[in-house]
Chain A
Amino acid sequence: MTTNDSKLTKKDFTSDREVRWCPGCGDYAILATVQTLLPELGARPESTAFISGIGCSSRFPYYMDTYGFHTIHGRAPAVATGLAITRPDLDVWVVTGDGDGLSIGGNHLIHALRRNVNLKILLFNNEIYGLTKGQYSPTSPLGSVKKSTPMGSIDRPMNPVSLALGAEATFVARSIDTDRKHLSSVLEAAYNHRGAAFVEIYQNCNVFNDGAFMAIKDKDQKDHNQIRLTAGEPITFGPDGENAVVARGDGSMKIVPTEEAGDRVVIHDPNKPEPTTAFALARLSHNPTGPTPIGIFRDVDRAAYDEVSRDQVEQARVDQGEGSLEQLLGSGNVWDVVS
């Protein structure tokens, strides 16, 4: 139990349940980051709700000493929407995965994003179905040889950041499970964003899909492949900043040596009203096999659905007065029968 005057710590956000992800799972790192970050941000356990669907990532709420709801497959954004509309006093987080959020629950995800419901949506992307033991997922690379695809998967993977931008989400970011500093900074920005905040987190499944993100996590490769997006900064990367992102004539992005780029290097601006440039950046990588942008792609202000929805209720009460049940029942044509 917490009180308002005590300084909260990670312990206040940690439940007494034994964490049961596989040893070495990337989820542990994300959990620790969130448990550490929330007290630093001034969040309160009683005012925080974690809503999840089904999958390994969706066990997350059990380990948070906050309010939590482990719902059904794919439906967490819908449940969270009902809670967010009716309870403006709460911080509502959604924890989902690439199967839960993009496959069975894809519809709810895009609608929560386009409506801009005040939710913080964390999509743990491990490019695999872990809980059902190793089938390919909507983000698995083309040709993935998995239990259900012995001859290789034949459907093109989805790019979660592209999808979120396509739904015109107002906050779209990507980070990495084990990069605590980067993940914390992205989550802090998401927390402070009013509206739907979508964060894709590359998360390693060491049992069924180990090393999927080596290109940007391995210490020998990451400096070459991480394109760190920083607002107001030119987008360059590489150990010595030797690579730069420039725009082609059609608006798409390409990577060129920095020395050739000159003043054509794209200056990152996540606040652009149009998602076009952010979308072009998202298309730079398909599954992280090479240079891949991480950070905040888009962060714009737009009225949050839940807020406007509550405003309409208030407006109706101001315009029409508080409802009277007697008046409602007796509205329309009435007549009296006397004995």
Chain B
Amino acid sequence: MASDVGTDVAERTHVQLSNAVVRFAGDSGDGMQLAGDQFTNQTAIAGNDLATLPDFPAEIRAPAGTLAGVSSFQLHFSDQDIHTPGDAPDVLVAMNPAALQKHLGALKSGGTLIINTDAFSGRNLTKAGYDEDPREDGSLTDYQLHEVDLTTLTLRALEGHIERGELNKKEAERCKNMLALGLVSWMFSRPIEETESWLESKFAKKPEVADANVAALRAGWNFGETTEAFVFTYEVKAAKLPPGRYRNITGNQALSYGLVAASVRSKLPLFCGSYPITPASDILHELAQLKRFNVNTFQAEDEIAAIGSVIGAAFGGSLAVTASSGPGIALKAEAMGLAMITELPCLIVNVQRGGPSTGLPTKTEQSDLFQVMFGRNGEAPIPIVAASSPADCFHAAIEAARIALTYRTPVVLLSDGYLANSAEPWRLPEVDDLPDLSADFGFTTEPNTPDGDFLPYLRDPETLARPWALPGTAGLEHRIGGIEKEDGSGHISYDPANHHRMAELRYERMDKIAAGLPPLEVDDPSGEADVLVVGWGSTEGPIRAACHDLRARGRNVARVHVRHLMPLPQDLPDLLRSYETVILPENNMGQLVTLLRSATLVDIKPYNRVTGQPFSATELIDVIETLGWGESA
């Protein structure tokens, strides 16, 4: 955010910006996620491109005022096409000392800092680890500091509500997030009518609460307008996005919609068997709201039952999915092997979070690639598709379903905590343009041998898919199970040569999937790059942003994003071999790089970090320059 315009205390200056990063931070009870969501909606309506990064503690309500209890929401918005939630914020709203302590370090030098002075009591300062009041020790002099008594202002705005007994003081105080939102909305010249109508519908059953929140929101806006403390207002013009109809969408929502779309486009009922787990639960919640699409949701007693029910539903002819995260996937491992050997189409969603063990439930990581690739007994290959952005979760879900139905196999769909909770504008696809999955499979209804027998493991030579014959079909009664089976008949078989053949077939089916993939798309506008950056999953945004920036500085850098991790695209090895330098950043300690080195024998340079946070573009610019050219520009 640029602010190199002269100041005149009496007059306000309106500054045009290309982009801005705003971060709201406060106690987990302060409503920061809600304020952030609403600011995001206003931003979307203003036509900016945007990306968000919610960050909250795993505890529902950690002790108030502590560092552990700080929750934040960052929004990056721009008049250009952007790919990340931004690096250092231009504006930080800190609702208490703990939020300031935790987030001040990220704020840009000279950035705008709004603090709720009402919360800067001695006790809150101690809880946040301050020996001295940061307002008085000179540590905030590098910023445009605005000390605002947000709580007092909120209570003043709601005096009438309290007097009328519509809400008590404590309830009134809770509206301070709306006051802060009103103030920031004013700073960025955002109309607040949409937020008002959202509040009215959210609290439709409690009109007095809706009314109080609207009053606080307006009070915040008016405070900005009337006080002379704020000399700048800002505006970020609408981005030039491709024409179409847009909405904001988070990864979990897009993934759920993708599953529904796959169900509609395959003409199969959708069955979701899941067990609650952060950060995947929203998929179960979302689908439970969509029963009108012939969606049946089952909250199982545990992770194993969840996938068990999915296998049963797949056996019965549903498009079946279970959504979980690393610890839950660990429990599902044996059942995933069963789904693989019985060759039943189903989807296993892993919304990855920080590991190992319980790890960091609300933080993001890409460290379950090895788990989903290898975490089963025996030779048990399962296709893996990884989503690359919140909106891409929609298309990745459809792609995972396509592979499952066409090749009759469980498929792992990888997302992560960052994609799950972040939002971005999504240009709505035309439903008719979505793949027609019903053309990719059919239920078997007739015997498949000349002598009238039905062999459940007699494969389609094109896809190596076995027939999907549903219970209820007379004459095709058959038994399947986890014991090794005879090629063709599917009868139990302990024959050594047959076992080897079946293992080969399971890998040959992966080759068939790879052969059906479209060619990789390399992003290299110059066509002369010697350095290739490989990404997978949610690193696409920061890698794309970093490459964009590097090119602007004269660096020729190419980029490829790998969506299919099992099987790998057949053109990937040659592609990697054709560059002098190949760099692979990932939010783990080096998983895809290990697989690709083995598959290609290319000496790929890894960059790895697991801090629970996605990469920033700035960080990757530095990494790519250092690994690619051995220097910084």
Report the interface size class on chain A: 35 or more
A77-94 CB mask vs B (1 if < 8 Å, else 0) is 111111111110110000
Binds B, one of A182-190, A195-203, A242-250, A319-327: A319-327
A120 contacts B by Cβ under 8 Å: no
Kindly provide the distance from the CB of A328 to the nearest chain B CB, expressed in whole angstroms: 6
Report the interface size class on chain B: 35 or more
- Complexed CA–CA distance, A290 and B194 (Å): 75
User: Do the beta carbons of A86 and B305 come within 8 Å of each other?
Assistant: no
User: Do the beta carbons of A337 and B477 come within 8 Å of each other?
Assistant: no
Considering the complex, give the chain A residue whose CB is closest to the CB of B194: A333
A10 contacts B by Cβ under 8 Å: no
Kindly provide the distance from the CB of B100 to the nearest chain A CB, expressed in whole angstroms: 32
A59-83 CB mask vs B (1 if < 8 Å, else 0) is 0011011111111110101111111
Kindly provide the distance from the CB of A101 to the nearest chain B CB, expressed in whole angstroms: 14
Considering the complex, give the chain B residue whose CB is closest to the CB of A12: B477
A107 contacts B by Cβ under 8 Å: yes
Binds B, one of A132-140, A257-265, A308-316: A308-316
Residue of B306, B313, B317, B474 touching A46 (CB-CB under 8 A): B474
Given A72-B335, A85-B271, A317-B291; A329-B431 close (CB under 8 Å) = yes
B519 contacts A by Cβ under 8 Å: no
B267 contacts A by Cβ under 8 Å: no
Given A46-B473, A75-B335, A329-B431; A86-B271 close (CB under 8 Å) = yes
B491 contacts A by Cβ under 8 Å: yes
User: Do the beta carbons of A78 and B292 come within 8 Å of each other?
Assistant: no
Residue of A2, A48, A79, A85 touching B311 (CB-CB under 8 A): A79
- Complexed CA–CA distance, A195 and B41 (Å): 47
Given A79-B308, A82-B298, A86-B318; A337-B428 close (CB under 8 Å) = no
User: Do the beta carbons of A337 and B241 come within 8 Å of each other?
Assistant: yes
B221-258 CB mask vs A (1 if < 8 Å, else 0) is 00000000000000000100111111110000000010
Given A111-B305, A309-B296, A325-B260; A334-B477 close (CB under 8 Å) = no
Kindly provide the distance from the CB of B227 to the nearest chain A CB, expressed in whole angstroms: 30
Considering the complex, give the chain A residue whose CB is closest to the CB of B295: A313
Considering the complex, give the chain A residue whose CB is closest to the CB of B294: A313
Given A90-B472, A336-B246; A82-B312 close (CB under 8 Å) = yes
User: Do the beta carbons of B244 and A82 come within 8 Å of each other?
Assistant: no
Kindly provide the distance from the CB of A113 to the nearest chain B CB, expressed in whole angstroms: 11
Binds A, one of B149-157, B181-189, B202-210, B478-486: B478-486
Contact partners of B2 in chain A: CB under 8 A: none
Considering the complex, give the chain B residue whose CB is closest to the CB of A317: B292
Residue of B244, B296, B474 touching A336 (CB-CB under 8 A): B244
- Complexed CA–CA distance, A173 and B533 (Å): 65
A216 contacts B by Cβ under 8 Å: no
B601 contacts A by Cβ under 8 Å: no
Contact partners of B320 in chain A: CB under 8 A: 82
Interface residues of B in 478-504 (CB under 8 A from A): 478-483, 491-492
B413-449 CB mask vs A (1 if < 8 Å, else 0) is 0000000000000011101000000000000000000
User: Do the beta carbons of A72 and B334 come within 8 Å of each other?
Assistant: yes
A1 contacts B by Cβ under 8 Å: yes
User: Do the beta carbons of B311 and A67 come within 8 Å of each other?
Assistant: no
- Complexed CA–CA distance, A73 and B295 (Å): 29
Interface residues of B in 448-477 (CB under 8 A from A): 452, 471-477
Kindly provide the distance from the CB of B172 to the nearest chain A CB, expressed in whole angstroms: 28
Contact partners of A315 in chain B: CB under 8 A: 291
Contact partners of B178 in chain A: CB under 8 A: none
- Complexed CA–CA distance, A39 and B103 (Å): 72
- Complexed CA–CA distance, A75 and B335 (Å): 9
Contact partners of B536 in chain A: CB under 8 A: none
A30-65 CB mask vs B (1 if < 8 Å, else 0) is 000000000000001111110100000000011011
- Complexed CA–CA distance, A64 and B481 (Å): 14
Interface residues of A in 1-27 (CB under 8 A from B): 1-3, 15, 17
User: Do the beta carbons of A86 and B474 come within 8 Å of each other?
Assistant: no
User: Do the beta carbons of A86 and B291 come within 8 Å of each other?
Assistant: no
B47 contacts A by Cβ under 8 Å: yes
Contact partners of B214 in chain A: CB under 8 A: none
User: Do the beta carbons of B305 and A316 come within 8 Å of each other?
Assistant: no
Contact partners of A67 in chain B: CB under 8 A: 471, 477-479
B39 contacts A by Cβ under 8 Å: no
Considering the complex, give the chain A residue whose CB is closest to the CB of B293: A323
Kindly provide the distance from the CB of A93 to the nearest chain B CB, expressed in whole angstroms: 12
User: Do the beta carbons of A1 and B475 come within 8 Å of each other?
Assistant: yes
Contact partners of A81 in chain B: CB under 8 A: 298, 300, 305, 308-309, 312
B290 contacts A by Cβ under 8 Å: yes
Kindly provide the distance from the CB of B451 to the nearest chain A CB, expressed in whole angstroms: 12
User: Do the beta carbons of B481 and A78 come within 8 Å of each other?
Assistant: no
Considering the complex, give the chain A residue whose CB is closest to the CB of B311: A79
B180 contacts A by Cβ under 8 Å: no
Considering the complex, give the chain B residue whose CB is closest to the CB of A47: B472
A108 contacts B by Cβ under 8 Å: yes
- Complexed CA–CA distance, A330 and B273 (Å): 26
A332 contacts B by Cβ under 8 Å: yes
Contact partners of A89 in chain B: CB under 8 A: 472
User: Do the beta carbons of B292 and A320 come within 8 Å of each other?
Assistant: yes
Considering the complex, give the chain B residue whose CB is closest to the CB of A68: B479
User: Do the beta carbons of B480 and A69 come within 8 Å of each other?
Assistant: yes
User: Do the beta carbons of A75 and B304 come within 8 Å of each other?
Assistant: yes
Contact partners of B47 in chain A: CB under 8 A: 335, 337
User: Do the beta carbons of A71 and B247 come within 8 Å of each other?
Assistant: no
User: Do the beta carbons of B474 and A3 come within 8 Å of each other?
Assistant: yes
Known: A46-B477, A62-B492. 13 other contacts (CB 8 A): A2-B474, A2-B475, A46-B471, A64-B479, A69-B312, A81-B300, A82-B309, A86-B312, A89-B472, A90-B471, A309-B296, A325-B261, A328-B293
- Can you list 11 A-B contacts (CB < 8 A)? A1-B474, A67-B478, A68-B481, A69-B315, A73-B334, A86-B316, A312-B291, A313-B296, A316-B292, A322-B293, A333-B45
Residues of A within 8 A of B (CB): 1-3, 15, 17, 44-49, 51, 61-62, 64-73, 75, 77-87, 89-90, 107-108, 111, 309-310, 312-313, 315-317, 319-323, 325-326, 328-339
7 cross-chain pairs, A with B, having the tightest CB-CB distances, nearest first: A78-B308, A82-B312, A70-B481, A82-B309, A323-B293, A68-B479, A316-B291
